[in-house]
Amino acid sequence: MTVVLDTNVVVSAVFWAGESRDCMVAWAKRRFQLAVALPVLEEYAETTRRVRTKRPEVNPEP
């Protein structure tokens, strides 16, 4: 199965535990393939940077 994850799902998974993180864990376990275009990947990164300023105790780096 190939999936596109909304930016909210990706960013939520980085900063908070819950269903969004469960989705990322499933992807890490190769339960599905992630399809993402460069503009969406850039949106993930930009949004993560903005949220990080509000949650400096969390390191979003891999």
| Residues above pLDDT 90, as percent of the chain | 76
Calpha distance 58→16 (Å, rounded) = 9
pLDDT of residue 22 exceeding 90: yes
Which helix (DSSP H) or strand (DSSP E) does residue 3 occupy? strand 2-3
What residues does each domain of the chain span?
A: 2-54
- Written as six digits, the tokens of 47 are 């949004």
User: What pLDDT, on a 0 to 100 scale, did the predictor assign at position 19?
Assistant: 96
Using an 8 Å Cβ cutoff, are 40 and 7 in contact? yes
Quickly state the pLDDT bin for 57 (edges 50, 70, 90): confident
User: What pLDDT, on a 0 to 100 scale, did the predictor assign at position 32?
Assistant: 97
CB atoms within 10 A of CB 20: 19
